[in-house]
């Protein structure tokens, strides 16, 4: 049987962002220097995204037990939608500032219809970790508390991270290295 120790990371950005935004380039470089293959694709339709387009991007990587999935904000929602129907579980999923409903952002409704199958996400998501900001004005901490309960997952709360647009890769590394 092949060694499926996680060695690949897929980072999915959020709404109105791209691969060069926020902490994504630093995380890519950081983990590449640690020996991971790191992918940070640009998801289409930035201002008016369509879930099926984002899912097509994720599916092209064919994540399995050698993968760690990291999603920021809407990217975390896309990962949860992927994990609802994933053909195989991944090693780990880290959701950062991930909403559970569209709030006041109408262009995002297509990501949130029909609710979530938390049991399937938990099954296919491997080890699930959550990171939220203490006083996030975009995605309130309450979303993280609900996800922590649904996934029975640890919730890391970061003060002053401005919707987690600033995040040190070392925080992600600690979660990845936890046994």
* Domain harbouring 129, CATH code: 3.40.50.1820
Number of domains within the chain: 1
Q: Is the pLDDT of residue 2 over 70?
A: no
> At 1, is the pLDDT very low, low, confident or very high (cuts 50, 70, 90)?
very low
Residue 1 within a domain? no
Residue 51 within a domain? yes
Residue 26 within a domain? yes
> At 58, is the pLDDT very low, low, confident or very high (cuts 50, 70, 90)?
very high
- Model confidence pLDDT, tens digit, residues 142-170: 999 999 999 999 999 999 878 999 999 99
Residue 3 pLDDT: 52
Residue 106 within a domain? yes
65, 34 contact by CB (below 8 A): no
Residue 2 within a domain? no
pTM of the model: 0.95
Q: Which domain holds residue 166?
A: 8-177
Q: Is the pLDDT of residue 12 over 80?
A: yes
Residue 39 within a domain? yes
């Amino acid at each position: 049987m092949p060694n499926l120790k996680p060695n690949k990371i897929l980072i999915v950005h959020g709404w109105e962002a791209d691969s060069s935004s926020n902490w994504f380039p630093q995380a890519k470089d950081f983990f590449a220097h640690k020996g991971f293959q790191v992918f940070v694709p640009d998801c289409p339709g930035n201002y008016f995204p369509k879930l099926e387009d984002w899912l097509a991007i994720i599916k092209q990587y064919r994540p399995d037990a050698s993968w760690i999935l990291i999603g920021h904000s809407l990217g975390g929602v896309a990962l949860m939608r992927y994990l609802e129907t994933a053909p195989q579980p991944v090693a780990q999923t880290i959701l950062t500032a991930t909403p559970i409903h569209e709030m006041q952002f109408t262009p995002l409704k297509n990501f949130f219809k029909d609710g979530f199958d938390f049991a399937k996400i938990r099954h296919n998501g491997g080890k699930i970790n959550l990171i939220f900001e203490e006083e996030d004005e975009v995605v309130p901490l309450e979303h993280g508390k609900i996800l922590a309960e649904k996934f029975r997952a640890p919730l890391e709360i970061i003060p002053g991270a401005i919707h987690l647009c600033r995040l040190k890769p070392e925080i992600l590394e600690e979660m990845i290295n936890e046994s």
